[in-house]
Homo-oligomer: A and B are copies of this chain.
């Protein structure tokens, strides 16, 4: 028989970690000790328990004693994590006002999953929503056609925050950094190559939300 001298983790440990991960991916709950044994060619539950204890000592696993399937993978092994499901409300484009989920009648055909750990500040509110940018009108905000922007509903903003605004007078939706100034507002593009839009006090701006995150998937591109 194979004998290893108790240092670090061996092939058997790896196999068990891998099995727990794949099992949990499939069933969404951890396996039992006996299930681990079956799939890792260990005929005795006590041996599985033996390995599990070692993995716990190594800090790769945590166990809730006495609780069925009470184990969880730690660190890089853990395939599961908290995530936010953000409803994808539709598209945002220059010519049309964006649709903010005003209370109930929202039907997210699709949704976007974001890892909790990636969320800035503590915008962990459940009222976030996402829009897909259509067209090149947001280039000056460094946002491409097809990008997904995650927004948090808001009516006002603090200086330096990027907001989605509906410019009533200009009949335009845009994403800009917001600055309140003495004679009105300054809407600053993210791209320094573009000039800011100055809004006089008599004009109205309609802040729809704060931009929390921008995601761009690089699928492919037309030639």
Contact = CB atoms under 8 A, between A and B. Distances in A.
Contacts of A78: 28, 85
Contacts of A136: 192
Contacts of A177: 221
A114 interface: yes
A187 B43 CA distance: 58
B29 A72 contact: yes
A120 B68 contact: no
A14 interface: no
Interface in A48-93: 64, 67-72, 76, 78-83, 85
Nearest to A77: B85
A144 interface: yes
Copies of this protein in the complex:
2
A162 interface: yes
Interface in A89-143: 111-115, 117-118, 120-121, 136, 139, 142-143
A161 B221 contact: yes
Contact of A81 (B69, B113, B220, B223): B113
B80 A83 contact: yes
Interface size class of A (residues with CB under 8 A): 35 or more
A216 interface: yes
Interface stretch (A3-11, A166-174, A195-203, A206-214): A206-214
A159 B27 contact: no
A89 B158 CA distance: 33
B115 A64 contact: no
A219 interface: yes
Contacts of A64: 27, 29
Contacts of A220: 160-161
B113 A113 contact: no
A222 interface: yes
A112 to B, nearest CB: 7
A69 B69 CA distance: 8
A69 B68 CA distance: 7
Given A29-B70, A29-B72, A80-B80, A212 B218 contact: yes
